[in-house]
Amino acid sequence: MPSPNSPLNYLRQIAIGSATGLLLLILIIGGFTLAAPGKSSSTNTPTNTPTDSPTVSPTPEGRDCSIAELALDDRLVGLHAQVINPATNEVLFDIEGDTPAQTASVMKLLTATAALQVLGPNYRVQTKVYADLDFPGHIVIVGAGDPTLSRARAGVQSVYKDAPKLSDLAVQINEWARGTPISDITLDSTYFAPEGWDPGNPESERTIGYQSLVTALQVDGDRKNPTAETSPRSTDPVMAVGVALKKNIGPLASSATLTKSKLPLDPEDIKRGRYLEVAFVKSQPISRWIEHMLKVSDNTEAEFLARLVSKQLGYDGSRDSLDVALKAALTRAGLSTKDLVLLDGSGSNEDNKVPATFINALLKKVLNEDGDLGVIRRALPIAAETGSLANRFKGDNLDAAGKIFAKTGWTKHEYSLAGIIKAKDGTDLVFSIAAIGDVNATAKQAIDNLATGIYRCGNKLSAETTPKTN
């Protein structure tokens, strides 16, 4: 049972108290918001708090809408939540908002921001094929971190719409070969440092089909079915590329030997022209990756974006490099990364640690479309309409349909939602909600109820907070 001084009991007192009692509480506080002082969240001054300075609240009558009872829902285990009005920098609701906590797929907001800062929205990944002129019949396909490269036949869309295709590489290879058999195909996936499965993720993420191993050369995110978002992934995505490439090249490569190795492009080889580029394809721009990643919560795209950020900043593209690389990228957006722990790009690892204050500071920039962050705003799932929110905010919450734009999250021990609310009174709010602990899928409904309550209250949301407990 919660202690008398616990956050839940505090909220319960607000929820069951009379309107007079709530008014008295606000009057005692003295009309000031309970937001903590902070620095400006401009792009020039890094900050992970959404506030500029303590501000005077509107009159008590202007803060008479409470969501305390919704926050007491038993399904919201380990609630971490914060709501701010980004126009006034007021914190309207806060429970453990400054406590770093796991993110689930809300982490993808950070990854998308990092990619836009470092790569830019128009960045494209190229997959190239070289001929080894010292050994006729030997070609090398070199991956550069594009999991959207597809083996789907011409005219068929993979889950990655308008993705580059192995069939296009095969056409170019056949045109170059002019009937000469392909005897050897080397598969070079060394652009990213080699690594196995992230021990922080359950193996079921791969076997069920939510995420692939990270290799710089793969097709369709290593899905067994390239047209299915959730599809089992293999333990050897690189070799799968070779098998598919042979099939696409056709008879000329039917007897080709497949070898995984690095293309030895040493200076002397380049100087004397040993290797000749004979084929290449380009990915869709990174902005398209981000749109798909956020709408359907694609873990593979997120992991590859994080590693491309690492490589672009001069690191090795390994999992171990992500914390420093992502923090460096987020700092470019004017955000303080103090106290963050960033272990992956997708949020699957439950040891990521990010406070709601940071998420909301980022969302304020997304709302204002700072820099290229409008890409994220336009990609967010919409309540009851698109992406991972298409089937949520129905029934009693239908009035919030089309008004909540947010990234969903789920792991074994967390359900989360963070984004932008166009409130009923027209106020733009940003929010972060996470239920962390012994949770189950019913937490989604409780989160949606809480978010709908925020939508209905708008700028009249009472400045509720919880006392710190030791």
| Count of Cβ atoms closer than 10 Å to residue 424 Cβ | 17
Residue 39 has pLDDT above 60, yes or no: no
Residue 270 has pLDDT above 90, yes or no: no
- Cα distance between residue 143 and residue 158, in whole Å: 19
| Count of Cβ atoms closer than 10 Å to residue 28 Cβ | 8
- Residues 200-213 have a mean pLDDT of 94
* pLDDT tens digits, one per residue of 222-260: 999 999 999 999 999 999 999 999 999 999 999 999 999
| Per-residue confidence (pLDDT) for residue 333, from 0 to 100 | 97
Mean pLDDT over all residues of the chain? Answer: 88
- Residues 282-303 have a mean pLDDT of 98
| Per-residue confidence (pLDDT) for residue 265, from 0 to 100 | 67
| Per-residue confidence (pLDDT) for residue 35, from 0 to 100 | 36
Residue 9 has pLDDT above 60, yes or no: no
Banded model confidence at residue 59, pLDDT cuts 50, 70, 90: very low
pLDDT above 70 as % of the chain:
84
| Per-residue confidence (pLDDT) for residue 154, from 0 to 100 | 81
| Per-residue confidence (pLDDT) for residue 57, from 0 to 100 | 41
Give start and end residues of each alpha helix (H) in 90-200. Answer: 107-118, 166-177
pTM for the structure as a whole: 0.87
Q: Cα-Cα-Cα-Cα dihedral of 286, 287, 288, 289, to 10°?
A: 50
Taking each helix axis from N to C end, the angle separating 286-296 and 299-312, rounded to the nearest 10 degrees, works out to 140
Residues whose CB falls within 8 Å of the CB of residue 18, separated by 6 or more in sequence, listed in order: none
Residue 20 has pLDDT above 80, yes or no: no
| Per-residue confidence (pLDDT) for residue 467, from 0 to 100 | 37
Residue 322 has pLDDT above 60, yes or no: yes
- Looking at the domain covering 7-119+292-460, what would its CATH class be? alpha beta
| Per-residue confidence (pLDDT) for residue 28, from 0 to 100 | 31
User: Any idea where the domains of the chain sit in the sequence?
Assistant: 7-119+292-460, 126-284
Banded model confidence at residue 168, pLDDT cuts 50, 70, 90: very high
